[in-house]
Amino acid sequence: MLLSTTARSMLRSAAAAGRSTAVKALVATASSSSASFSFQPYHSATTKTTTSTSQTLLQSHHFQARFKSTVLETPQLEGTRDAYQVSQTLQGTDACLRAGLNTLGITNPSTLYRNLTYAELFEHEKANNEGQVANAEYGETFAVDTGKYTGRSPKDRFIVYNEGSETAENIDWNDINQPTTPEVFQELYERAVAHFNTLDKAY
């Protein structure tokens, strides 16, 4: 379910005011049948019902899966896309084998950090000195100085052009969607694999 800009803004405000208020806003959003968000003032007369609904929602696997990126442990949901979206740290000489990276030619790293949560990535970023922690309005935020490269580089996008293929016929080739050859792709691929095979740890 997608949240409207208004809903996102209200959720941020609710989170700043306190966890219980944020839960009420989430319950109201989850109960809505449309993508738009209509705010209803919270009255004391609805306390019992809302609290019960909040507890049920927080305990449900569906709720935990939707917001899994902010928690360290999430139950696996068999047969769904969420089943493979769990945080893992693979260690040992067979780490790449267990992660399936060996099929790409990556075999050297013995420690793999896979699908880390926001909280775990935050701790890794601090430990690796990749930037600085800024005290923002809604809590600690990790800030990185990118130097002169301050945004995306739209004119550095290249797509492999295969003569006679479906993509060759349907991609809008222009100064942004620029064609390159399979040989160039293969060279870059081999360089990327070679780089990963110099690492002991990888994400």
Task: List average pLDDT for each run of 10 residues in the chain, which is 203 residues long.
Answer: 53 53 46 42 41 45 45 51 75 96 97 92 93 90 86 87 93 94 96 98 96
pLDDT at 40: 42
pLDDT at 25: 46
Structure-block tokens of residue 103: 């099929």
Length of the chain: 203
Closest CA to 91 of 101, 81, 99: 99
Residue 195: CB atoms within 10 A of its CB come to 11
Note if the pTM is more than 0.75: no
pLDDT at 149: 80
pLDDT in tens, 44-101: 443 444 444 444 444 444 444 444 444 444 455 555 655 556 899 999 999 999 999 9
pLDDT at 158: 94
> E strands within the chain?
88-91, 111-114, 132-136, 139-143, 158-160, 178-180, 201-202
125/189 Cα distance (integer angstroms)? 26
pLDDT at 55: 47
Maximal CA-CA distance, the chain = 69
pLDDT at 45: 42
pLDDT at 153: 83
Answer yes or no: are the C-beta atoms of 38 and 45 closer than 8 Å: no
142-153 burial, b if ≥16 CB within 10 A, otherwise e? eeeeeeeeeeee
